[in-house]
Amino acid sequence: MPREKRLYYNWPGKQTVENFKPGTLDRLGLGYEQMKEHNPRLIFASISGYGTTGPYAKRGGYDPIAGAEAGLLHVTGEHHGPPVRPGLGLVDMATGLYAHGAILAALHACGQHGIGQRIDASLFETQISLLTNVGMSWLNLGIEAERWGCQHPSIVPYDAFKTKDLYLVCGATNDAQFLKLCKLVDLESLAKDLRFSTNPKRVENRDLLGPILNSVFKTKTTAEWIDEFEGTGIPFAPINNIERTFSHPQAHARDMITEMPLNAAKSGHVRLIGPAVKFSGTKATIRTVPPRLGQHTDEILAELGIGKEQVDKLREENIV
């Protein structure tokens, strides 16, 4: 077996993930430079608001703050309306996903070269990377991004339309789909209208087209429109609340809800969200339930070399 493979499968290192303000662990004697002296294979992942260097390194980091300062809130909200924070901590979660991939990459590198490294991830840089197309449009063309609500900046129609009872998201990503959509909503004349016959013209006249389509979608329920759209090839979906999301047949078919025993729960079990990615050879499962408060305190303190008598004393003093 080649040396790099042997190192990879017998990797005796440790992984650490921390999200203190930069410099905090260094002051405690637990920073990367200090810890790698004890274990050169250490993978040390730091997650902060702005990274470990630069003029903003000492600032604390929070999801909506990074979203504001790195452009997300600028592009989120109704057209000509105020900025809106997304309903989920997208920057927090995306940073965690980036760090996850980086840790795996660092483990692979350690397997090849036998040494670990520090991973430096930040909410600010994550959000900048998520700007993708609007960021590239600014960098290369000087085009400032706008808020579009549920609309698409360059494809029309593509919106959340109010139905008789709920909402339906649908769109026409090309002229052929627009013709199909016009036939489906019994407005074939729109496809022949020079103001709407091509996507560039529809983008130009979106404020004229939108009210026409809105008036039609209000005539039927979302369920009725779903029956109309099914099998047409036009992209569509209802806007589901959380209850309908977790009762969705696709969510059940793809094992996105799992149940595990949990004595601490009144029901004796806890329902969890399943893994988002499936593997053909190694089935992804949730093997442990969420830990209770302080459940692993003894194990962690033991790893730090703190004996049982000292742990008992820390408990008596309500320190742990």
C-alpha distance across the termini of the chain, in Å: 47
Side chain identity, residue 140: N
Nearest partner of 73 among 198, 281, 261, 64, judged by Cα: 64
Q: Is 63 considered catalytic here?
A: no
Find the radius of gyration of the CA atoms of the chain.
26
Q: Are 75 and 145 in contact (CB under 8 A)?
A: yes
Catalytic residue among 26, 63, 92, 298: 92
- The crossing angle, in degrees rounded to 10, of helices 123-130 and 90-113 is 100
Tokens representing 239 are 């806007």
Phi, psi of 183 (to 5 degrees): -65, -40
* Cβ atoms of residues 172 and 178 within 8 Å: yes
Gap between the Cα atoms of 24 and 186, Å rounded: 65
Helix pair 132-141, 123-130: axis angle to 10 deg: 80
Question: Active-site residues: which are they?
Answer: 92
